[in-house]
Structures are given as structure tokens and as C-alpha cells.
Structure 1
């Protein structure tokens, strides 16, 4: 699928991997709607990137909020061809912690609601709009790109909630691709390693440096632009479908 003149929705598009994706798509001629719960950052990002980018405040866990964002995108740009889900949260809590205290169920539920339910909520509503597109080459109508994590495969101590949700995102990649195949809609997932995002930048060196040491090569944090480049490749390579790609510099995370 040619990126130029296509319409994309990007969740979590106000910062980090999402913003880099919005910038890359807009630079290649796409029209992009940023879906993010941070209104200030979202509006600032849309204004800074250019006239082909708009913003709508969105709670990915809320059906009405996402449907309103999907409708706003169609009203503004006429269609949706690409959906990139970058919205997500992390957590650090053991299954049983100090003084034998069990993992807070509310925290676990919050991570599931945003990372898993939110991803699927946006995916299903965006795909329903993509199904209305006129088919292009190979009868393609659209693409979903979801974001997992290397924690889906080698989650660390305290990452049980995060790893569970990212593993579920990986697990639903192929079924979604199969569900949408007859409609000409592909679905792929990117599983990033440790990237240079605002969240990671806020972490102290004692957290970042061991993770960099576990990375094989290049021995550094990933650049958000590298994630965005993978999204663009997935858009343009029509034969890439139902696949999860680790983008991680060869990292294999140790328990701690």
C-alpha cells in the first residue's frame, strides 16, 4: 500500500513511538489522526507536525470515545486505511510482593484494559471502516499494526501484568489477520525492545544501563524513528501479514 494520500489513526500518537510514527507517515504524504488521552500534548503534536495531522482526545478503553474518534477521522479525511496502536502503560509489581502481599488486582486490570482491551477496541472499530474502502492492488483495503514488547517473550521480574498483555497482543495477531483476510485487511505486530521514549528517559541509569548491556548490537536504546520505519515498511510490503517482528537489537532480557 502506498502511504501517500492514505489516512491513518495512531493511538498514543502524542509522544514516543506513536509521535515518531505520525511524523514518518505525514512526511510520506499520509493524513493522520492522533488518538491520545493527553489533550495538551496531542494538540501540540498536531500543530507542530503539520496541516495533514489532526488530534482527537481519546480513551482507548471506552467504546464510545473510540467510536467518536473513528467518526471524527472519517469526517475529517474521508476514510481510514491504516491503524497503528501505540497507546500503552507499564507496571512493576510482583505476583506476591513484600510481606506476602498479593499483586494488586486493580493495577493488573488497568494494564489489561489499556494494553489489551484498548488495542482490540481500536482495531475492531478501525477495521470496520477499512472494510468500506475501495480495494487497491491485491484487493488490499487496509492494515492494522499493533505494538507488543519483547516482554511478551522474556518478561522480567515484576512485569507479570505488562507481559501478559503484550503476550496477548502477539497471540491475537494471526487470528485477526485471518478474520480480516477476506476483507483485504492485514494485521501485523511490532515487539519493540528498549526504546528512547519519554518513559525510558525518565528512568535512572541503574535501570537503563543493564538493559542496554543486554542488547547485542547496536548497544544503545532504540530510536523511535526506527519503530516508525518498521511501520512504514509494513504498510508498503503487502506480503507481510499475520506476523510479529521483534525490533530490539538482539536483546534477550534477563530476569532482572
Structure 2
């Protein structure tokens, strides 16, 4: 039976003050890990750290800045051997068609900024945290660490106006198996969650009529995904030692169609 006891180890949650990330922080803390909340949102991160108290700290982190990420990793290593990382950063995304209705092209800046956050930022954290994990002592399976990335079902079925976001998340999906193979030599596992429509504060801000349309497009269960369900899957990926190189959809069988 797979053990979910993370006592005596440290974890880092990128985007740990956001809806999905916060749920992961809480779950890892419940299972004994010391956790670094790596997020730009200092106010919310400090509130969460103050609430959980025991071995949970916030480090302001910009995923596009290598020094910033390295500082968060170093902070986690001071709490214990860093064996778990979950990458769930969010906050920026441009929504525009490649050619606008007035005939003008989409902005290149919007595209590159979106890729910088969701794809380049993911790779930046992945390369730095895995290099640190590679120095850990191996466990009985030869494992030194496990990493969970966050993609989206938009990476499979991007909607109109989602080209930048869909391309970034498709990149994360494509990174999963190749990255797992790269890291196998060092005993580090890499998996990815591709969530559908999740019930986060940002999603709830779109208003009830839009939320009802989203619910109607989910085959079963007829609701948005819960952040706790994302956290449960992340924990399972971190603690199931034979799960590697996989992208798991968490979407109630939802499939995006052109709107």
C-alpha cells in the first residue's frame, strides 16, 4: 500500500496562495510535510502560513526569475529534504484571437507573456528544483523526489481566443514524458494534472450565469471541480512511486468544444 506520510520531508508549492495551490499546501501539511508557499501574492500567502503555523513559510517567488526560484528552493531545503514539488502558478493570460475582428493581428507581447508564465516558468522551476532533488539520498526505490506540473484541458482542446494559453499548456503536456525520461537517471518522477473547469475564486468571479453554462458542459458530476480534488490527485502523484510520465485529466469527462 502506498504511504502518504510525508513527515520529515519538505515540499514547495509554486502558486501556493492561489486556489489550486492553497488546497495542495493544506493537503501536504496535513500529511506531515513542511511546506514553502512560493507565490507573488504575499498577503494571501502570509495569511495561509500564519493559519497553518507549523513548518509552513512564504517566500515571494517569481517563476520567470531564476534567483527568485532558487531562493524558494533553498528555503524549502532548510525545512527538510526537499522531495515534493507542485507547480500551480497562475494569474496571467491573454484572451484574443490570432486575427482580431477588426483585422489586426494579436499582440506578440500577450503571447510571449503567457508562455513565459505558464511554460517557460514551469520549465525554469522544473530544472532548478530537479537539480536540487538530484542531490537527495535515494529511498528504497531509488527515488529522490517527485514533481507535479499543472496543465489544462485547454492544452488538448483550446477554445477560440485561447491560442496563447492553449499553446503554453500544450507545452507543459509535451514536457511531461520527455521530462520524466530525462529525470529517470536521477530517480525523480514527473507527472502532470490537466484540470478542467475548477471552482476557484477566479472562476467564481465570472458570475452565476457563466458558471451554470460551465456546469452544463460537464457530463458527470454536474459541477465544477473542487480544489480539494486537485490536491488529492497531486498527493497521489507525489506518493504513488510507480506513476511517472503521465498527464491525468481532472475534468468530469468534460471536453471543450468551439464556442
TM-score (norm 1): 0.96
- Give SS of 2:216's match: helix
Q: What residue number does 1:21 align with?
A: 24
Partner of 2:246: 243
- Contact 1:154–1:252 at 8 Å: present in 2 too? yes
**Residue aligned with 2:146, SS:** strand
The aligned counterpart of 2:53 is 50
Shift of 1:64: 1.2
Distance between the aligned counterparts of 1:79 and 1:5, measured in 2? 8
Give yes or no for the alignment of 1:59 onto 2:62.
yes
Of residues 160, 164, 183, the one that matches 2:163 is: 160
Structure 1's unaligned 5+ residue stretches are: none
Picking from 83, 86, 93, the partner of 1:84 is 86
Rounded to whole Å, the distance in 1 between the matches of 2:179 and 2:230 is 21
Note the C-alpha offset of 1:158: 0.6
**Which SS does the other structure have where 1:183 is aligned?**
coil
Higher helix share: 1
Count of aligned positions: 255
Shift of 1:137: 2.1
CA contact (8 A) 1:18 1:86 kept: yes
| In structure 2, distance between residues paired with 1:63 and 1:26 | 26
**Does the residue aligned with 1:154 lie in a helix, a strand or coil?**
coil
CA distance, structure 2, for counterparts of residue 209 and residue 95 of structure 1: 28
Distance 1:206 1:97, change over 3 A: farther
Q: Unpaired segments of 5 or more residues in structure 2? A: none
Q: 1:5-154 to 2 correspondence within 5 Å? A: 5-75=8-78, 77-88=79-90, 89-154=92-157
Q: Distance in 2 between matches of 1:81 and 1:153?
A: 29
1:118-139 superposed Cα distances (whole Å, 9 cap, x missing partner): 1111111111111111111211
1:226 aligns with 2:229: yes
Shift of 1:50: 2.5
Partners of 1:3 and 1:235 within 8 A in 2: no
- Distance in 1 (CA, whole Å) between partners of 2:252 and 2:53 is 32
Provide the residue aligned with 2:207 in structure 1. 204
Q: C-alpha separation between the residues in 1 aligned to 2:140 and 2:204? A: 41
Task: Choose which of 188, 195, 217 in structure 2 pairs with 1:214.
Answer: 217
Note if 1:176 corresponds to 2:167. no
Distance 1:51 1:78 in 2: 13
Q: Contact 1:83–1:143 at 8 Å: present in 2 too?
A: yes
Q: In the aligned structure 2, how far is the partner of 1:79 from the partner of 1:3?
A: 11
Deviations 1:125-175 (A, max 9, x none): 111111111111211110110000000111111110000000000000011
